[in-house]
Amino acid sequence: MQKILIVEDDERLAHYLSSHVEKYGYRVKKVADFSKVLDTFIAYEPHLVLLDINLPMYDGFYWCRQIRQRSTCPVIFISARTGEMDQIMALENGGDDFLTKPFSPDIVLAKVRSHLRRAYGEYAAIVTERVVEQAGLKLYVERLELHYGSNEVALTKNEATIMELLLERYPRITGRTDLLEKLWDDETFVDENTLNVNIARVRKKLVELGVADGIETVRGVGYRLQLP
C-alpha cells in the first residue's frame, strides 16, 4: 500500500483530505509537529508528499528543499496562491506539481495517482490495483470488471464509471449531476438519455451477477445502490 504524507496546518483540511485519500486505498499520515516535518518524513518514508506552502515555523518551500536533499519522492504543493510567481517558486524549490485551493476532491486524487504512476511506474500501480468493494460487490476499476461472489461481468468504460461512483457513494444516494459530470469527457457532451441507457445496462448486468433491483431510482435526485 502506498504511503502519503500530508503537511497541512489547517487541522480540519488535513483531516478531510486524509480521509478522502484513504478511501482510495492509500495509507496517510498527517504531520503533527511542524518543527519536525523532515523527521516525520524520514521516519515515515512516504511515496508522495502533499505540502502546504504557508506553515508555522518554516514554509513549505523550505521543507521541500530539505526533503529534496534526501529523496526524489514526488511533492505536490497545496496553496491558495494562484500567481505564476508562486508556482514558479514551488517548482524551483523542488516541487513536482501544484494544487490551488479550493481544489475539487477529484483533482487531488487525479494528481496523486498520476505522480505516483510517473514516479514508481505502471507496475506499482498494477500491484496496487484499484478495487472498490461494497458488501461483496467488487469493481476492478482498471480491468473494467465487476465481481459478485463467483460471478463476474465485463463493463464498458461508461458503465464502470457509473458503478465506481455508485459504490463510492454507497449507501448514500449518488446525484444525477455527479454521474453526468463524471461521464462527460471533454469531447462529447453526455446527455440525460445516455445516462438513462447506461444505468439500464448496469442494472441488467447486476441482474446477471445475481443482484436484483440493484439500483434504486430516487426521483429528481439520483440513484442509490441496494445490495443485499
Cβ-based nearer residue to other proteins, 13 or 119: 13
Residue with cell 469493481: 139
Q: Does 214 bind other proteins (CB under 8 A)?
A: no
Q: Does 193 bind other proteins (CB under 8 A)?
A: no
Report, in Å, the least distance between residue 37 CB and other proteins.
19
Q: Does 161 bind other proteins (CB under 8 A)?
A: no
d(CA 223, CA 170): 10
Question: Helix, strand or coil for residue 177?
Answer: helix
Of these, 33, 45, 181, 216, which contacts other proteins (CB under 8 A)? Answer: 181
What part of residues 125-154 is at the interface with other proteins (CB under 8 A)? none
Cβ-based nearer residue to other proteins, 180 or 227: 180
Alpha-carbon 195 to chain mean position: 23
Cell numbers linked to 214: 440493484
Q: Does 104 bind other proteins (CB under 8 A)?
A: yes
Give, for 106, the enclosing helix (H) or strand (E): helix 105-127
d(CA 137, CA 33): 40
d(CA 29, CA 183): 32
Residue 91 phi/psi, 5° resolution? -70, -35
Q: Does 109 bind other proteins (CB under 8 A)?
A: no
Cβ-based nearer residue to other proteins, 32 or 85: 85
In the complex, which residues of this chain contact other proteins (CB under 8 A)? 10, 12-13, 16-17, 20, 80-81, 84, 100-105, 172-175, 177-178, 180-181, 184, 186, 189, 191-192, 218, 220-222
